[in-house]
Chains A and B, each alone.
Chain A
């Protein structure tokens, strides 16, 4: 991975965080826009979940990642700690691949 992309990522990330403290002063964001901005992470996270579970290049496939996600879903629902969720998902996928 190139340092150039990483530096761009650093700059954009800081720029977004700094907009408010550096420039907003006492101004407020339109409540509708604010809600939309805070809602942005939901479809993006959901898309990342399905693409990285089912995607294989341009194909959609069902492999060991899908049952791993199902295990993770149960654990998230049961409010398990973050590390338990990701380790259980990894263990599920690893076991299924070992058996296959």
Chain B
């Protein structure tokens, strides 16, 4: 019995990894469509998905471009959303230990999905396996999804008439929703939104979203209060 349990677990991991990959692939199709509608070439959309490889940041980047912002304005929010990958990477460092070139490759796969899968295992070996399987599955599906979406996006007509501009806020909301359960999260979100709205009439484009980072402060204070 024990032997079958041990043998079965990796299969469960593989199944989960593939399941997450397929879901991410669908998300990738919408990213590809929106990226091309925003003015990226299909090649740029694919390079972004394969190399940048962190979904929320990519959506943020393309969203700002679609709204008429420049490259630098787009980079600000995108980089801020990528900051959490640094926290993930540091927390995963013990799992990703090994030779330098292997760590260098593993680093590329430090994202939400791989971190969540690696963290939910009982031991380091299972965490590594979960990380690798999820990473490969998500990377391949995200890339293929983006390419498919980018090719479809090329034949789509007026993005506004199709409501594509409304897809960005909806996508961000879909990313935000599940995170709101964490302590301090609702306060951080509301504060960030309020700061951004207040600044829109005055600040140069891109700045309101960057300034919204200040929302982290009340969020951290509330989270600290909740634990005390």
* Interface of chain B: mostly helix, strand, loop or mixed: helix
Q: How far is the CA of A13 from the CA of B61 in the complex (A)?
A: 12
Residue A36 at the chain B interface, CB threshold 8 Å: yes
Given contacts A44-B80, A48-B169, A72-B169, contact A94 B216 (CB under 8 A): no
A contact residues around B212 at 8 Å (CB)? 43-44, 46-47
* Interface of chain A: mostly helix, strand, loop or mixed: helix
Across the interface, do B89 and A20 meet the contact criterion of CB distance under 8 Å?
yes
A contact residues around B80 at 8 Å (CB)? 40-41, 44
Across the interface, do B90 and A29 meet the contact criterion of CB distance under 8 Å?
yes
Residue A24 at the chain B interface, CB threshold 8 Å: yes
A contact residues around B74 at 8 Å (CB)? 5
Total interface residues on B, CB under 8 Å, equals: 104
Q: Which residues of B contact A (CB under 8 A)?
A: 23, 26-27, 29-30, 38-41, 44, 47-48, 51-54, 56-57, 60-61, 63, 65, 67-68, 71-72, 74-75, 77-94, 96, 100, 103-104, 106-111, 160-177, 179-180, 182, 184-185, 188-193, 195-197, 200-202, 205, 208-209, 211-216, 219-220, 223-224
